[in-house]
Structure 1
């Protein structure tokens, strides 16, 4: 069952990214949206979809609102595209990992500059 869940997570990640990319190109979201991960529950009833936004805090807020409105439509689109018996309900959560990585990288650069000056 775990292998099936992993395959579904990968499949949902690819499909949702494709759908979101098309919607971003159409101007439905603020900023550049990337789906970073999908975690499906063991009972396949729900899935958390993690996303990041390259843009302003307002872009992040707008994207969160748009994704919340998109939940049911996304399920219908995936049901049509994937022909699966059961599509989980999707909950979108902001993934701040890219921001954290950027902060860590900037700290390393500061440390490197300080080390070079010694």
Structure 2
């Protein structure tokens, strides 16, 4: 991937995160929502945004529905902030990596607190 596309992806990610914080949709503003990664295609037509939601699975589904319904607004705002001639179509994907990492960390912490008595 070219450095130009990498730079644009990074800028789109930052602008999208900023725009998500300003949304008034209660589905999105209720939980802790973050943009973990963004991948813009080489032709700048699409941007895959990976979204992490700290909360229940129902919260995550609600956030994704809220983002999908606000995608037109977010697309315009991101294009304006990044100063792109054509706004990439935003595609939202749920990123479970942070939740998964927190679960593993919790399991490791429990193991430290209760070591096996066989040793």
Gaps of 5+ in 1: none
**What is the RMSD computed on CA atoms of the aligned residues?**
2.1
* TM-score normalised by the chain length of structure 2: 0.84
Partner of 1:16: 16
Q: Distance in 1 between matches of 2:37 and 2:50?
A: 5
* TM-score normalised by the chain length of structure 1: 0.85
Partner of 2:68: 68
Partner of 1:95: 95
Partner of 2:43: 43
Gaps of 5+ in 2: none
Aligned residues: 117
Q: How does 1:27-42 map to 2 (within 5 A)?
A: 27-29=26-28, 30-42=30-42
Q: For 2:48, what is the secondary structure of its paired residue?
A: strand
Query: CA offsets, 1:51-102, max 9 Å, x none?
Result: 1112222221111101111222211112233321222111000000111101
Greater relative contact order (Cα < 8 A, sep 6+): 2
Q: Distance in 2 between matches of 1:21 and 1:41?
A: 24
